[in-house]
Each structure stands twice: as C-alpha cells, then as structure tokens.
Chains A and B, each alone.
Chain A
C-alpha cells in the first residue's frame, strides 16, 4: 500500500521529449519565424498583411475557445473584439490628451492589456445571460446580442463615434523598447509580440483545469455535473476568457489601424471569424491560425484579382463543412500522418488523385465564374488568363469549362472507385 502511495505515475504523462516536441518546439519555431521576417525586409504591403494576419490569428484563436473547445457556436464574437478595440482607442486618446495622471505614463505598446480587460468585462456582462443556454439557443442569443450591440453602437455617438467611428493617433505617450510606434516596422514588433503572447496565452489556457473542463463540457455537459462542475459556470468562465482574448485582438487592431467603427461590432465580422476558425479546423489548436492566415490573404489579395472572391469563400466553406470537417488543419495533419506512415498502402496516390480531381473541377468552376462575373458586369471586359480570350460567346470557353469539369469529376470518381475497392 505504501509503495503504491509513493508511486508518482510520472510515466503516465508524455515523455519530456514529446512534451518539448509538441508544446515547446512550435512556440520556438514561432519566435524564430517572427524574428526572421524583418530580415527579409518585407514590403510595406507585406507588413500590413502580416499585421492583419497577426490580429486575425489571435481573434480566430479566441473564437475557437468557444466553438472548438467549449462547443459554443457564437454569431457575435466581434462584439468583444470591437469593445476591446474601442476601449483601447479611448485609452489612446486619453494618453494623447493627458499630461499627467495614470494615462500619461501608459505606453501605447501595452494597450492591448486594456483591450483584454474590456473584452473580459464585456464577457462578464453579456455572458451572464447567454451562458445559461448552450447549443442552438446560445447561437441565437449571440446573434440577438450582436444586433443589439451594433445598433447601440450607432446610437451612442460619444462612445462609438457614430458611423465615422473613433480615431486616434498611436504616436503618443512614453516609448517602450525604443519603439515610436509610428512606422510600420515598429508596428511589426508590436504585432509580433502580442500575436505571440496571445497565442501562448490561449494555448496555456487549454492546459489549465478550466481549459480541460471546457472540453469536457463540450463533450458531455451532463457528466461534468457529476464530477463536481457546473457546466453553466464552466461555459461562462470560458466565455469571459474568449471575450478577453478577442478584446486583446481588438486592441492590437486599434493600435494598428487607429480606428474603430460600429460596423466592426456587427454580424459580418462575427461571421468572418467563424469562417476563419472553421475553415482552418476547429478541432486543432493550429486550425484557426491556418484559417486566419488563409482568409486574411484571400480577403486582402484575392479580392483584388476576382470580384467573386466571396463566392469562392462560400464554396470553400461549404466544401469544408461537407467533405472535410477537420478543416485545412485536418487535411494537413492527415497528409502528414500518411507521409509519416510511409504512404505505402496507396493512400498517398489516392489523395493525389483526389487533389488532382478537385483542382481540375475547381479550374473549370473558376473559368465559369470569372466569365459569368464579367458578363454580368456588362462592360465588355473579357476573362483572359494565360493570353486566352474567353468570352461568354467563345466556344473555347465552354469547351474548357466542360472539359475541366468532366476531367475533374472523372478523376474523382476513379479515386472513389479505388477507395471502395479497398474498402
């Protein structure tokens, strides 16, 4: 008996190497990556894009604390992002105005802390009624709350600045780390610092007893009651933290763009963060990061090349919901798993076939959509990829579309037959 009491069961936990590989290494890689980016002297466009990605990474991760980890589908997460951002802007203005007092000594670099607090406070207030329910009712409450807060945003001009929003100047207050916070290069370090801290913080949260119980509550709220936890309470606390980290992201955004408008509280940005998290993969910690990077890139770059980018986004989302609920991360890790196992059983070949089929069909779809968009705009612009002239009345267009679709679905069918043959 005494022997058993002495036993530590340390071997139950993952080995030190595993721990390092799974928990520490990714963050070291992240630090190295963040430190290395400036060495490549990114253009200002790139810098702006990276800043947007950093903000969205923290925002999407905070959203996944709800959807992925606690099983709460929210249509109003931008509320906390926005309130955090507004709080930071007001604080920034106070720093700019105040020659003495608390704000005078507050460095702009540290402002996301204020966003964190404001997001948490909003979570405390709004979460209290919302978290009494879960599932679809919770989703509906979040939708109603988002509409209400957004409307209030337009009503209370002194806080939200009406549709013009609240603006500020970040080059105020004491400097930290010698950063003037003016040029984009300074802002890079600010974004990098807080993206890292936000990611680390959210990851650390998943490792706490509360974080673990939030997953337990997602899986089985009934059982959670019989290990001594109140599921409503677990959800409420997680909700507050999700709001807080969203507020942190909002604070980063406030410093980066120096503006917030009531529209940033509304359903549209809440929907976008949902898309980011889900497309990235809500079952993986890294999923929302991938989703945020991908969607931010699409939003700021793809929208320059194609007017129909929202259509592609919708298609991508539906494809993920229907065929790859694990999201991009699920696909990536699936492939890595196959590669690690050596891919000897022909899985790799099958996946390659599927990818080829999807790519072919998608190419056909892109041609169809792009031709349709130009035709619909009606001022005679013609889709001309690779020097081809693809008009709506060009037979080649339709030949290509039909060809790509036929080839794509043909390959997909082949892949499926192989799979069924295996199964």
Chain B
C-alpha cells in the first residue's frame, strides 16, 4: 500500500514539476486555491497566467520565460508564511498575492525579515489586491509594490461620485467588524466631511465578519434611517447576503461597494440589483477601450471559459515587471525594484504610475453600475458592469498623501 502511494505521489510530483527549464523566472502565486475563497484565488491565478503568457509570447522577460507557480495559502496568514518559505526554498524570488490584507501584512513582514537575513537572496512582493492603506504608509517596504488602489483611494473615488450627486443627503456606512471594514468606515466619514459637509452620516455600523446569516435587520435599520446611499466594503458572503437582503426588503438607495464585482456576486444578486449596486474598480468590462484590450478580454474568456475577466491589475503588474527588468537589464529582484520606482505605463484604461515614494500604483478608477444592458455579461447571468466617462475618476483625484519613510537598500 505504501509502495503504491509513494508511486502515485511520485507520478503526481512529476506531473506538477513538468516544464521547468533554466531560462525560467518563476513567480510564486500565494493565494487561496481551495476552501471557501478558492474560486477567487483561482480566478486571480488564471489572470496572472494569462498576463504572463502574453509577455512570454512577446519574447519573455529579458528573454527568460515567466512561469506562475501556485501555492495554496487557504487565506491563513500563518499558512501563507509556510508557503512563502516553500517558494523561497525552491529558489523563487518573485511573490504575487492579493486575497486578504492580513495575509499581505504577514508576507510583507516575512519578506522584510528574509531579505534582511539573507542578503543576495532578496525576494520581491507584488501585491495585486490587498488594500490596507498602511502597506504604502506607515508599514511601507522597499520590497513591496501595490498594483491596486488602496482603501482611501477607492473611497476617494466613491466620495467624489457621491459629492457630485446633490440629491444624496444621508449616507449609511456598513462594514465588517475588522481592520479593513473599520478603515473603509473611517475613510468614508472623513472624506465625506471634507467634500460634502452637508451630508449626514445616518449610520455607521460594523457587523461581525462572516457570521451574519440574515442581513434583514441591518437593512431595516438602513431603511428607517432614510439613507440616500449606502457605502460598504463588504466582500465574499457578507457582500452577497447584504445585497440580497437589501433587494428582498426593497431598499431603494444605491449601494456603493468595493467588491460587487467579485466572483459569485453577480449570480447571487441577480436582476434585482440592477441599477442599484455600484462598484469602485480600476476595470469595467463594458467601458469603451482599445481593440487590443478587447481582444485580450476575449482571449482570456476563451482560454478560461468558467471565469470572467476581472483582475486587470494582474496585467499591469506583469507589464511593470517586464518593463522594469528591461530597463534594469537584469532579472534580479533588487535591480527590478529600483527600476520599477516611478515607472509609468500607458494602459488601455489610462496612464498607470508606480509612485516611487511609497510603491503605490496610481490609476484611474471607475464607479460602475450593475446593469442588464451590457455587451459582456458576467457569470452567464446576462448582467454586467457598465460605466460612462462621467463615472471615471482621474488617477490624480484618487491619489492620497503618504506617510511612508522608505528604507532603501544600499546599491
């Protein structure tokens, strides 16, 4: 029995390790690939794989083939460190991760420590979705680059959108009771107070993370507060259940979300959410764009028919990596990190800049609306996200000051 088992394992190992070559630069993708968040991690992985395949088709990174190596972290910070160690042990020096600021926080800490303890063997962390502002403020690190707009930046887009709508007088903020939810609430309150002092925050509610099964009581509170708009940073089941309860109870105020577009949400929200759920993101599938980008989206959705194009920032990240390597003339993480600072890139949705001061990407954001009248739908629901130019918030307007004191290695 033992023999059969080890033979099976050996076979599986050969299967997993196939295709390695000397000319390969590997990127460790550390995100949930199983468990409740598995689908969203897998979606991210495919987007990265697709982005990498584009670079490879175009001659690779300084001639080297890029390869994504998936590591399943089960969204646990601790497990992420185990997987990070595994990746480093295999000689991988580029790390990509996005799901969960707690995980990103752990990885930043571990990467800092590793680079300090192992000079000459540095690794670089490309964060594509963890949005705690601290990562590019107090906790900023030379080894960390963020390719997503952080909480305050997205909130800047959301509050800009609100402040342009005079009929909104009362705003209700609801979020998950943990650091991210609190950061969203804080950003909403302070930014609204600045931009529209006349707006009253009629509710600022935190609910336990992932434990509420029925949001109706919260919705009833929102309705009785006469809110004209709702802001929420909820993700996962908390987002879906909140919107579902809102639809069931006939809430009429628009709901501004951070993650309305995440996997599975459209299916769960259904037609009722049309026109009422909005999302702040750097990418909107039905926003007019270049032919090349449309071709890319179509190619992606053909390659991975089960998934919708969502993490546009994966392409930004891979392009930045490729460009920085070319600029530095080296595939070494330290050289690439220095080259990436301050770099800009003309993307299909406007100019993208990697701010040198704090390694925070600056990009245009969109407040898109869930709609039934779309060319490209999500999850085969016939529903999707649209935005017009009026919903586009320029990168400059979303930029936030930073407290980062970057500690750069000596060259």
Contact = CB atoms under 8 A, between A and B. Distances in A.
B85 A48 contact: yes
Given A164-B102, A165-B106, A305 B33 contact: no
Contacts of B8: 363, 366, 385
B13 A157 contact: no
Given A165-B102, A305-B12, A154 B89 contact: no
Interface stretch (A19-27, A95-103, A112-120, A255-263): A255-263
Interface in A258-311: 258-261, 263-264, 300-307, 310
B1 interface: yes
Interface stretch (A196-204, A351-359, A392-400): A351-359
Given A362-B4, A377-B42, 8 more contacts: A45-B85, A48-B85, A154-B177, A162-B102, A163-B209, A257-B82, A300-B82, A377-B306
B86 A257 contact: no
Interface string A174-208: 00000000110000000000000000000000000
B34 A164 contact: no
B302 to A, nearest CB: 12
11 contacts: A44-B89, A164-B101, A259-B106, A303-B72, A304-B16, A304-B72, A377-B42, A378-B305, A379-B304, A385-B15, A386-B11
Interface residues of A, number: 48
B88 A162 contact: no
A93 to B, nearest CB: 12
B89 A45 contact: yes
A157 B179 contact: yes
B1 A164 contact: no
A48 B179 contact: no
Contacts of A260: 78
B178 A154 contact: yes
B185 to A, nearest CB: 14
B110 A258 contact: yes
B117 A182 contact: yes
A366 B15 CA distance: 16
A171 interface: yes
B81 A355 contact: no
A123 B109 CA distance: 31
Contacts of A167: 105-106, 109
A258 B80 CA distance: 12
A253 B76 CA distance: 14
A386 B132 CA distance: 45
The binding surface of chain A is classed by DSSP as: helix
Contacts of A232: none
B9 interface: yes
Interface in B75-117: 76-78, 81-82, 85-86, 88-90, 100-102, 105-106, 109-110, 113, 117
Contacts of B180: 163
Interface string B30-50: 000110000000100010000
Contacts of B5: 359
A151 B209 CA distance: 10
A391 B1 CA distance: 25
Given A257-B78, A261-B76, A307-B34, A164 B9 contact: no
B59 interface: no
Contacts of B81: 257-259
B34 A303 contact: yes
B49 to A, nearest CB: 11
Contacts of A419: none
B208 interface: yes
Most buried by A among B4, B71, B85, B304: B85
